[in-house]
Amino acid sequence: MLAMIQRIARGRVLEDGEILADCPGKGLLILLGVTTSDTEDDGRLLAEKIAKLRIFSDEEGKMNLSVTDVGGGVIVVSQFTLCASYRKGNRPDYLNAARPEQAIPLYEDFVARMRALVPSVSTGRFGADMQIELVNDGPVTMQLDSEMLKLPKRG
């Protein structure tokens, strides 16, 4: 499972002018890509890491606080294009992206896990053509891969 996270000052997700998700203050925008090899454990690993990731500044300006520490909100948006393969030719393929029948339950499980860890979590609409408005804070943007979280930790 892949997550592109952005620290935001504010953000929202719209579909045809309808606001689907809103984070009026500081928080995280999470673009989530579900691959064909993912399981619920991948979502658990990512949710736990993201909720504890210290990427918000403390009173001394050091990135030492998590989204929960700052009382921030989270927006989760499904993003199958994160799973793109671009090695051959100029048109990416999405063969590694899970089909909706596999991806939707894993996406929903990830969202439920985030809601258990962070008080304010809103979402886009799976498979919808959405517009995302955000003010990237920092900017701080990171890509997380659940496969990396399964590797042994070094020293």
Q: Which domains does the chain have, with CATH numbers?
A: 2-149 (3.50.80.10)
Could you say which of 35, 79, 110, 123 is catalytic? 79
Q: Integer distance in angstroms from the first to the last C-alpha of the chain? A: 25
> For the segment 96-130, what is each residue's pLDDT rounded down to a tens digit?
999 999 999 999 999 999 999 998 999 999 999 99
Residue 78 has pLDDT above 80, yes or no: yes
80 an active-site residue? yes
79 an active-site residue? yes
**Confidence band, pLDDT 50/70/90 cuts, at residue 33:** very high
pLDDT of residue 45: 97
**Confidence band, pLDDT 50/70/90 cuts, at residue 154:** confident
**Cβ distance 32 to 26 under 8 Å?**
no
Could you say which of 6, 80, 110, 123 is catalytic? 80
Residue 86 has pLDDT above 80, yes or no: yes
102 an active-site residue? no
Residue 155 has pLDDT above 70, yes or no: no
DSSP characters for 71-100? Answer: T-EEEEEE-GGGG-B-SSSSS-B-TTBPPH
Q: Is this structure's pTM higher than 0.75?
A: yes
